[in-house]
Structure 1
Amino acid sequence: MSADAAGRGARKDDHVRLAGQQWEPGAAGPAGGRDAEFDELEFVHHALTGVSLERVDLGVELFGRHLAAPFYINGMTGGTERTARLNRELAAAAAQTGTAMACGSMSIALEDPAAARAFTVIREENPTGLVMANLGAGRSPDDARRAVDMLGADALQLHVNAVQETVMPEGAPALSEWLAGIEAIVAASEVPVLVKEVGFGLSPRTLAQLAGIGVEWADVSGRGGTDFLAIENERRPGRDFAYLTGFGQSAPAALLDAAAHRAEFPDLALLASGGVRSPLDVVRSLALGARAVGVAGAFLRAVVSGGAEELGGLIRAWRRQTAELAALLGAQGPDGLLRTDVLVRGRLREYCELRGIDARAYARRGA
């Protein structure tokens, strides 16, 4: 392994370790409730508008494939011996439950063939499921093709991580080149391309830019989940970017903003991730217009604790509870959740006011 690849591998393991610390109960991270703007979304309860559970079908179409539930295992990691074991367990749980799965960034595998094994185990464990490859926005169309081929992937997550690259000790982001690079990959790709943030949100301006170059899928991936700014700052000798804590928009803020500007990108399918802790957060995301919801930290904690068996049980519980919540709210499918009455409170309401979004309209949608 080259020195550069070895450094990337160490960084991957650092990411898993530091992300796990953020999700420990009581930590100043997602599990501890930091920055949980999802909790500022409250459904109005109507006691006689619920539907029977057997009438609820939350199945969704994603990249031309049908999913039984509107959430998936989001991209996390890969590239080292430790992360290979995690990816194997994640993929096994995905196969057992019929859940779509994305992997972490595959850049290390393109530069060091020995690291590819940490990703190819995903397809070995999950030969027929919906699998997404993952690369950073600064890569070439040929790199994208190689990543997709390596996994036999059904789609490609192309992540934009300007904040992370800025804080990362090894970061050297050519930010001004990313949009043209994304356009080239989208034009050349034989599979759908999903452009996603890594936890700082996609604004309407960014979504319009993406739609303008042919992107059809975008994950707003907001602040509030695994915090890559904090992770990279922890890896800096002086931890000197701590003042940037809280930068970016949450997933609920990004979804509300996107809905207010939908006319600018009417054909762009929106997904959501970032701080999704429970089936209630899944339902909240769907109610704000997400097609499907990516889950990382909560599922990572389960697989680290008890492997594929524990994660599989958690996914099945989430699937049932998501349907039960939809039934309680009177929604027979995801579209029904768009007609629920939602109160927008606190800092999230202030965001709406400052951005010119009519938060009051969400409280009266059922009428």
Structure 2
Amino acid sequence: MYHYTAMNRKDQHVGLANRQFTMEPAKDFAETRFVHQSLPEMKVDDVDMSTTVAGIKMDVPFFINAMTGGSEKTGEINKNIARISYLANIPVASGSVSAGIKDPSVAKTFSVLRFENPDGIIFANLGAHHDVENAKRAVDLLEANALQIHLNAPQEIVMPEGDRDFSMWLTNIEKIVREIEVPVIVKEVGFGMSRETVQQLASVGVKTVDVSGTGGTDFIKIENKRRVMDFYDFLEGQWGQSTVTSIVEAMSLPEDIRPQIIASGGVKNPLDIVKALALGADLVGMSNRFLRYFRETHQLESTLNQMISFKDFTRELMTLAGAKTIAELRQKDMLLGSDVQNWCQARGIDWQSYANRSRLKRN
């Protein structure tokens, strides 16, 4: 009934994602507030923003998250993203390398990330239905420092040509974690993670998760736009949990079994970055935010300057919070929004402790 090439699909995804992008803050991020303290008692130069995730040391706590590749247009996007990543010294993740594995003629639309950024930190990306051999191919193609395995069941259900069998995902992940040499990061694609999901992943050896919640690109909406019949309008905006909720869910697990957390989904500005770090993330990902800016300006220099500004803003915001490190930031008092509070109450999560962390630390 449906006849789409992978190249067409990649171009459609980028176009539809751009159309739905908005600078309006995601609700749960906007309603999450720091308790302002008037005496930071530190200098901006005191801030150390560095972080270590999946054993990889990074100078800044944010990165350009998985986006695209697989067609001539998206290959050009990846080339520019890689140049920006190189010049700004910011890690970058590819889109799903599946197309490059199936069709060698488009492999260069992914490998261009490494060509343009020979010494940078690059994550390859692949779906959970792939086996160990494909995982190794994806890593080799990008000479990747780590591999993202993405979970996208809602997208697959709505996708006209999507998968309908998810029975082997956890088994595949376990084998990949056990058998490939680089760290594995398991990520959602904008529907969030529950503590049960995070615990399942930890049980098969996953040490880093990207909870990637709602508030950013909505792949249900994207795939629904690509359909010609049997529309899923009723599912748009009705599935998944926010990035803030997902971080709080993951942080409710005991520390000894909890993987490291990466946060993405609905991150629009440096304040969102700092809020996500304070809630418990060790790294924060953004994708459409930077892609949209580049497409609007068509200038590498302008986009690079914005990246550098994000670094400066993050350092300054950590100073406002009185935090010299990400570890100190996680001790600062925060108020969660009403929706997150209600969620936590229903799920038995202590949301009030976030508002009193500095006092609890002193005691």
What is the Cα deviation at residue 314 of structure 1?
Answer: 1.2
**Is 1:188 matched up with 2:186?**
no
Provide the rounded CA distance (Å) in 1 between the counterparts of 2:108 and 2:252: 43
Q: How does 1:247-262 map to 2 (within 5 A)?
A: 247-262=239-254
Provide the rounded CA distance (Å) in 2 between the counterparts of 1:63 and 1:216: 7
Provide the rounded CA distance (Å) in 2 between the counterparts of 1:90 and 1:128: 15
Report the identity percentage. 42
Q: How does 1:338-353 map to 2 (within 5 A)?
A: 338-353=330-345
**Is 1:219 matched up with 2:217?**
no
Provide the rounded CA distance (Å) in 2 between the counterparts of 1:229 and 1:170: 13
- Residue 130 of structure 2 is aligned with which of 101, 126, 139? 139
- Residue 11 of structure 1 is aligned with which of 4, 9, 12? 9
**Is 1:47 matched up with 2:42?**
no
- Number of equivalences: 356
Point out the more displaced range, 238-247 or 196-205. 238-247
| Structure-2 residue corresponding to 1:61 | 52
**Is 1:365 matched up with 2:363?**
no
Distance 1:43 1:125, change over 3 A: same
**Is 1:73 matched up with 2:64?**
yes
Provide the rounded CA distance (Å) in 2 between the counterparts of 1:303 and 1:122: 16
- Residue 219 of structure 2 is aligned with which of 209, 213, 228? 228
Where 1:158 maps in the other structure, the secondary structure is strand
Where 2:118 maps in the other structure, the secondary structure is coil
Provide the rounded CA distance (Å) in 2 between the counterparts of 1:262 and 1:314: 37
| Structure-2 residue corresponding to 1:26 | none
**Is 1:129 matched up with 2:120?**
yes
What is the Cα deviation at residue 255 of structure 1?
Answer: 0.7
- Residue 158 of structure 1 is aligned with which of 137, 149, 159? 149
Provide the rounded CA distance (Å) in 2 between the counterparts of 1:343 and 1:49: 19
- Residue 242 of structure 1 is aligned with which of 215, 220, 233? 233
Provide the rounded CA distance (Å) in 2 between the counterparts of 1:179 and 1:125: 34
Provide the rounded CA distance (Å) in 2 between the counterparts of 1:82 and 1:144: 24
Provide the rounded CA distance (Å) in 2 between the counterparts of 1:50 and 1:234: 52
Deviations 1:59-87 (A, max 9, x none): 11133332111000000000101001100
- Amino acid aligned to 2:92: M
Provide the rounded CA distance (Å) in 2 between the counterparts of 1:69 and 1:317: 12
- Amino acid aligned to 1:67: M
8 Å Cα contact 2:53-2:260 kept in structure 1 = no
- Residue 107 of structure 1 is aligned with which of 83, 88, 98? 98
Where 1:196 maps in the other structure, the secondary structure is strand
Provide the rounded CA distance (Å) in 1 between the counterparts of 2:251 and 2:214: 18
Structure 2 unmatched runs, 5+: none
Deviations 1:146-179 (A, max 9, x none): 0100111110010010010011000123211110
Distance 1:74 1:307, change over 3 A: farther
What is the Cα deviation at residue 181 of structure 1?
Answer: 0.8
- Amino acid aligned to 1:272: A
| Structure-2 residue corresponding to 1:308 | 300
| Structure-2 residue corresponding to 1:27 | none
Provide the rounded CA distance (Å) in 2 between the counterparts of 1:8 and 1:47: 54
What is the Cα deviation at residue 120 of structure 1?
Answer: 1.1
| Structure-2 residue corresponding to 1:337 | 329
Deviations 1:41-73 (A, max 9, x none): 011101013421011011111333321110000
TM-score normalised by length of structure 2 = 0.95
8 Å Cα contact 1:43-1:343 kept in structure 2 = yes
TM-score normalised by length of structure 1 = 0.94
Deviations 1:265-304 (A, max 9, x none): 23x1111100000000000000111010011111111222
Deviations 1:171-228 (A, max 9, x none): 1232111100111111111100000000001111111111111111110010111111
- Amino acid aligned to 1:363: A
8 Å Cα contact 1:91-1:125 kept in structure 2 = yes
- Amino acid aligned to 1:91: A
Structure 1 unmatched runs, 5+: 24-29
